[in-house]
Structure 1
Amino acid sequence: MSRPNRNEQFQAGEVCIVHAIQRCVRRAFLTGVDPVSGKDYSFRREWIRRRMEALASAFGIDVLTYAILSSHLHIILRNRPDVVALWSEEEVAQRWLKVFPGRRFEEHLAEPTEADVQALIRDQERMAVIRSRLSDISWFMRALAEPVARLANAQEKCTGRFWEGRFKAQRLADDAGLLACAMYVDLNPIRAAMAESPEQAEHTSAYDRIQAERGAKIDSAAFDLRAVPTAEAGKKIRETPVQQRMQEQKAKRRNPTGKRVLRDSWLAPLELASQTLSNDPQAHAGGLRASDRGFLCMDWSKYLELLQWTAAQRIKQAASKVPQRLQSALASTGIEVSMWRDLVWDYKRYFGRSTCAGRPSTMSADARRHNRRCHHGQQKASECFLASG
């Protein structure tokens, strides 16, 4: 069966949660040590994380979890058209120009000016398109993948494709699918033998949250969401040598806002304020992420305990019983407690070829919505859920 169209899986105008996977072509290495060439590309991990952090500050899209591995990356995204709808015309134009500056008269200024913003606002037809794109997961992934490919090709002194093709997208249709997938993503470095525990698995959302809980701070990579006054830009062009302007630009890229923030400040909070979603978009006012809305009906301490327990269950034959204190959290989602270890560690077996993940009843409803009989793997996944699920 061919891949479905993106608009069959998600649309920019409706809130949905998507597990995206972007994989390198053939034997190309995204990060880590390439066994063929012997080159170490580990330094790219932090660059990619910072790019995601920057995009999270500009797009109306929440980054829920992520993991950067040697040949691919996983990221769970939730688009927020309700948040984008609150932004003024100036905010929309500024955010767009930060990510896609286009070709301007003075490229080495790097920052859009007030004149650039006003020129874009005057084109109302284009502004409507841009507002939609700022909550479009496909555009977020494009803004992430293209610069990585250009950088990698420049470093390796080659041309051509760096990614296999368009990213793989899997819609997470309910809280059970989201919880299982979030754990699967956070545990990927352990599965790949890159780390022994979540505390050691750098460049994952779990690692960021653990470090933030300990007070770890980083230089913020968030965009400085303000336009440069046109007069100030003109003065800088006239009075500042080009070389100096380029050095200032390079310094600002390292820390655009000059702030130091907790390591997980750009990620969506983990715990939902309440189990019932309200109409309040809970837009974030600090310029670091789209919103302050959580995504799981459990707090961080319980999630971490469940993550650590699951990480220890690598060998199926030696897997122990889920602790009683964690069973209620799983049972409330309809997951069969005794199958939790299999659901996470063998996630690809159940949902690897499916464009949707969740309880069988939810997957069936999603399939009917798209005029399909069922989703691939739906029957197999039913083994991991209670009969009522």
Structure 2
Amino acid sequence: MPRPRAEQISVSDTPYYHVISRCVRRTFLCGEDHKTGRSYEHRRGWIEERIRLLASVFAVDIASYAVMANHYHLVVKLSPNDVDPWSDDDVLERWCCLYKGAPMVQRYLDGQDLCDAERRQVARYAKVYRERLADLSWFMKCLNEPIARQANREDQCTGHFWESRFKSYPLDTEEAVLTCMAYVDLNPIRAAIADNPESSSYTSIKERIEPQFNLAEAIQSQTEQQTLNEFTLPLKPLLGFEGVIRNGDQRGILFSFEDYLELVDSTGRISRDDKRGAIDERALPILERLNLDPDRWCERAIAFEATYADYRKEYRRAA
């Protein structure tokens, strides 16, 4: 019997998780329908925009992502302590970017006079919203539910868009985080829909290499699709590479961005019989420098990709 999500996610054990969500029946609801020839590629843009905007609202950092034709991957870092310095007004404004909020909250944000009892109730609402803004399940709900409604509205139909609740898997070491990030960023190359990381659309690696994400356009797009209320927060960048161990709070990834690019490039050149694509071995390397033993990294990367399906099955069985 599956365990509750609260028992599967423990920030005290690890803040990093690999998250996967798939379309119902695994059909190409975000790609191209090869039977009809109709393209749904624009929906991948919806998901990418939503991921980046929600990361700016929630206490969740995005380490990597890849939006594919019938599923998407995320590597997230949960940062629940980030909500502590937020004032109640900050919390209410963030939450009301996503939902209207209780009528009393709306009156408070409109500047209407409230009695003491009503202000105490608003404070209780803020406490609930504060907990939700640090919760991965609420992050995923706010991501998947509006996308499903948009797609059903466009298709003029009803029913499920996502096949089930999202799957989440803990990444309890820095090596596991890096391996999973590379796995996620290489998804388009392994699927033979991109030749290299620079051309891998709707991925974090492309955003890091060629920053083209336009917050203003994303907000306008989400607002027009009625999935986002007034948004005035600054865009939170992808989780950074710090490259060194710090004495204080370690916010980013213990690796340099340049070395990570080299790792992705080297791993992507490995050909496998059960994968359609790989980076051309004749292509020039992204960087000339590599600070990790390439043989050991390649061994780990191959093992991760080869055994990942079995790992998911075992994890679900244990749950």
1:196-239 C-alpha deviation (Å, 9 max, x unpaired): 11111111000000103xxx462446879xxxxxxxxxxxxxxx
Q: Which among 293, 311, 314 is matched to residue 351 of structure 1?
A: 311
User: How many angstroms apart in 1 are the aligned matches of 2:166 and 2:243?
Assistant: 31
Q: Which SS does the other structure have where 2:207 is aligned? A: helix
Is 2:237 the counterpart of 1:266? yes
- The 1:349–1:151 alpha-carbon spacing in structure 2 relative to 1, beyond 3 Å, is closer
- The 1:352–1:15 alpha-carbon spacing in structure 2 relative to 1, beyond 3 Å, is closer
1:122-148 C-alpha deviation (Å, 9 max, x unpaired): 433332221111110000000000000
Give 1:64 deviation, angstroms: 1.0
User: How many angstroms apart in 2 are the aligned matches of 1:144 and 1:117?
Assistant: 33
- Give the residue type in structure 2 aligned to 1:176: E
TM-score after normalising by structure 2: 0.80
- The 1:330–1:352 alpha-carbon spacing in structure 2 relative to 1, beyond 3 Å, is farther
Give 1:157 deviation, angstroms: 1.3
Q: Which among 303, 307, 317 is matched to residue 264 of structure 2?
A: 307
Give 1:189 deviation, angstroms: 1.0
Residue in structure 1 matched with residue 252 of structure 2 by the alignment: 294
Give the 5 Å matches for 1:1-389.
Answer: 2-11=1-10, 16-102=15-101, 113-115=110-112, 122-212=121-211, 216=212, 218-220=214-216, 250=224, 256-257=231-232, 266-269=237-240, 271-272=241-242, 274-276=244-246, 278-279=248-249, 293-295=251-253, 297-315=254-272, 326=290, 328-329=291-292, 336-337=296-297, 339-349=299-309, 351-355=311-315
Taking only the aligned residue pairs, the percentage that are identical comes to 32
User: How many angstroms apart in 2 are the aligned matches of 1:132 and 1:343?
Assistant: 37
User: How many angstroms apart in 2 are the aligned matches of 1:251 and 1:42?
Assistant: 16
- Give the residue type in structure 1 aligned to 2:303: L
Contact 2:150 2:225 in 1 (8 A): no
User: How many angstroms apart in 1 are the aligned matches of 2:61 and 2:297?
Assistant: 29
Q: Which SS does the other structure have where 2:188 is aligned? A: helix
TM-score after normalising by structure 1: 0.67
Give 1:38 deviation, angstroms: 2.6
- Give the residue type in structure 1 aligned to 2:142: A
Moved more, 307-316 or 338-347: 338-347
Contact 2:64 2:76 in 1 (8 A): yes
User: How many angstroms apart in 2 are the aligned matches of 1:104 and 1:324?
Assistant: 58
User: How many angstroms apart in 1 are the aligned matches of 2:114 and 2:148?
Assistant: 28
Which structure has the larger Rg? 1
RMSD between aligned residues: 3.9
User: How many residue pairs are counted as aligned between the two chains?
Assistant: 303
- Give the residue type in structure 2 aligned to 1:272: E
The answer for unaligned runs of 5 or more in structure 2 is 282-286
- The 1:275–1:102 alpha-carbon spacing in structure 2 relative to 1, beyond 3 Å, is same
